[in-house]
Amino acid sequence: MALAKETLENAARCGYAARGIVYLLVGGLSLLAAIGAGGMSGGSTDALRELMNQPFGGVLLAVVAAGLLAFALWRLVEALSDADGHGTGAKGLAVRGAHLVSSALHFGLAAWAIQLSLGIGSSGGGDGAQDWTRWLLSQPFGPWLVAAAGIAVVVAGGAMLVRAWTAAFRKRLRCGRDEETWLIPLGRAGYAARGVTFLIVGALLVLAAWTHDPSAAKGLGGALQTLREQPYGWALLALVSAGLFAFGAFAIAQAFYRRIDPPEPRLNTRRLKTA
């Protein structure tokens, strides 16, 4: 049992590190684009595709993909076992539901990255947000479902901004005062930037539902591009990109300092009754 808990904890820590690498790439490339030094304002798949183009890119991408798979598994365990103790109240269930969605998204991203590293399937691909929005709009009550998804994303973005303001993530850290002096600002900047991107993504989903136009829906890359198109867009993009880079650094720090309490494995000790 102890070995199983230790293995799951190590997998979770590798997962946080892999997520951090993805955000470092997204934030760093977007920041370079904002200041006119190359780069690009894209999402997670764009960043991983850029990683694939580097020396030994296939190996690097495979390692990151394995970490993302571990993070997806940890999110699933968090959601089902309530490892972080969120409880079964409305707020707790909402957080655990968000973990389920995060698990599914990271499983999908990991699978895509593994295929890309092995040269299987297409390395191009369209906007995933537009693809699933198009499918959802074609279903009964589709616009209402898309609007509900958009509102949920907006609420999640607002929660991240609150987390940035209150530094509520502090209670999940296991570190001393010295580490907190740089961890807390990193986390605040990171959650604030993620909150802004979530607000944009959610608003665009609501717009897609209102107009019945799936092309209005955007993912992370689309949210960053939307920022760039605003007045003083380069400055807005640079600010948010720096925050996403900070979130990547914070996620890597979480791999070392986050409090992770895997659930105890349960064995079925009931004996089978014989006839």
Whether residue 116 contacts residue 48, with contact meaning beta carbons closer than 8 Å, is answered with yes
pLDDT for 267 equals 46
The domain segmentation of the chain, as residue ranges, is 2-257
Separation CA 199–CA 163 (nearest Å): 14
pLDDT for 41 equals 84
121 backbone φψ class: left, alpha, beta (φ>0; ψ -120 to 50):
left
Identify the segments of the chain with pLDDT beneath 70.
Answer: 1-3, 121-127, 265-275
Separation CA 8–CA 188 (nearest Å): 27
Retrieve residue 188's tokens: 């605040």
pLDDT for 127 equals 61
Separation CA 254–CA 16 (nearest Å): 6
pTM of the model: 0.90
pLDDT tens digits along 84-108: 888 888 888 999 999 999 999 999 9
pLDDT tens digits along 26-78: 999 999 999 988 888 888 999 999 998 888 889 999 999 999 999 999 999 99
pLDDT for 131 equals 83
Nearest to 95 by CA among 75, 71, 110, 109: 75
pLDDT for 82 equals 85
